[in-house]
Every structure is written in structure tokens, then in C-alpha cells.
Amino acid sequence: KNQVEQSPQSLIILEGKNCTLQCNYTVSPFSNLRWYKQDTGRGPVSLTIMTFSENTKSNGRYTATLDADTKQSSLHITASQLSDSASYICVVSAIRDMRFGAGTRLTVKP
């Protein structure tokens, strides 16, 4: 069964610190992997998209990595800001399927 598991469920860090969010998947055959940021009460916003041949993609302070062999991805946030407080969602696409993880809720405290 195609699944996407994210960890941790929630995370609290201090402003200025780095953090890494994890995504494991069983979706097959793999097409691409996306990370989204969702602010409370808003729709998700795309951060990165990676295909099979890409193992890293950056968008400002956000860097996503992909290991297609182990079916794992991570999202690294550098020098966190209060505005990074949000849910981060991992989405894995197969040819005719797209599965969303439940998300990691990140809280950045001053």
C-alpha cells in the first residue's frame, strides 16, 4: 500500500536554530517528491520538488534531500525564523497516485 510517514509529529525549536524533518515512503513506482509548507488556516505552499535523479534541492533556507534507494527524504531548515512556524507536508507521487504525509508541526519560539 502506498504510504508516506513523517516524523516527528511535532517539533519546538528556538529561533535561529536548525532542524531536520523526516519523510519515509513506500509509494511505487516513484515519480517525484515534494515538500509543502502550510500555515495555520491557509492552503499548502510548494517549497521543493525532486525527481528520481535529484538528491538535493534548495529553496532559500530550506534544503530537501532524497535517497530513492532507501525511500527517505528530509527537509532541513537553517537559521529558523518565527515565520517558519507551520506544518510541513511531504508528498510522494507515483504515475497515477499522489500520497500526502500527515505533516510535521513546527513551532519556532523566540
Q: Please, which residue, 62 or 100, has the CB nearer to other proteins?
A: 100
Instruction: State the minimum distance, in angstroms, from the CB of residue 83 to other proteins.
Output: 18
Here the cell at position 93 is: 507521487
Residues of the shown chain interacting with other proteins in the complex, contacts defined by CB under 8 A: 4, 31-32, 34, 41-46, 49, 89, 98-103
- C-beta of 21 vs 103, nearer to other proteins: 103
End-to-end CA separation in angstroms for the chain? 41
Over the Cα atoms of the chain, what is R_g?
A: 13
Which CB, 77 or 92, lies closer to other proteins?
92
Q: How far is the CB of 69 from other proteins (least distance, A)?
A: 22
Nearest-angstrom CA–CA distance, 74 and 92: 13
Least distance in angstroms from the C-beta of 85 to other proteins: 18
**Gap between the Cα atoms of 32 and 36, Å rounded:** 13
How far is CA 80 from each of CA 14, 21, 84, rounded to the nearest angstrom?
8, 13, 6
CB 53 → other proteins: shortest distance, Å? 14
